[in-house]
Amino acid sequence: MPIEEIEGYPEFIRDTKKIEQAFPEAMRVAAGDFAREWISLAQSMASTDYAVQASQEFIVADSGDGVEISNSSVLFFGSEFGGQSRPETMQFDPYTGNEGYWFYPARRANEEQLAEIWGKGVDVAMSPWNRNG
């Protein structure tokens, strides 16, 4: 039996092509949603004056394949990772290494919520495969 005569094969090929075409855009949109939600969650966790100031300087920019999160605040790294090893960084909490105080902890504390955003992006891309009946 030729492969084209297998029941459902032409539909399968058509739908997989649609999914392949839809996937990059759906995931780019999901990446933007993910980034904006992460920033929102981090802003709500920013508790010091410096962290609050730094949290207002986030930018989500399209990078072509996805998005990039950037922060132009000179306070970001000190408020997120700490300082106190030099006189000019004494205004920050103690250095934490890569653990962070508010930006990265916001992601870790909300991993399930953020993962749902990725899942919704995959669902959008996979929608040609959804069959009712």
3 located within any domain? no
For range 108-125, the mean pLDDT: 93
Q: Cα 88 vs. chain centroid, distance in angstroms?
A: 32
Higher pLDDT: 54 or 96? It is 54
Q: Whole-model pTM?
A: 0.83
**Per-residue pLDDT tens digits for 35-71:** 999 999 999 999 999 999 999 999 999 887 789 999 9
pLDDT score at 133: 39
pLDDT score at 66: 83
Q: What is the dihedral of CA 77, 79, 81, 82, to 10 degrees?
A: 120
45 located within any domain? yes
How many folded domains does the chain comprise? 1
**Whole-number Cα distances in Å, 47 to 34, 44, 53, 117, 126:** 22, 8, 10, 26, 40
11 located within any domain? no
What is the domain range of residue 86?
17-126
> For residue 74, what is the DSSP state?
T
For range 122-131, the mean pLDDT: 78
For range 101-117, the mean pLDDT: 96
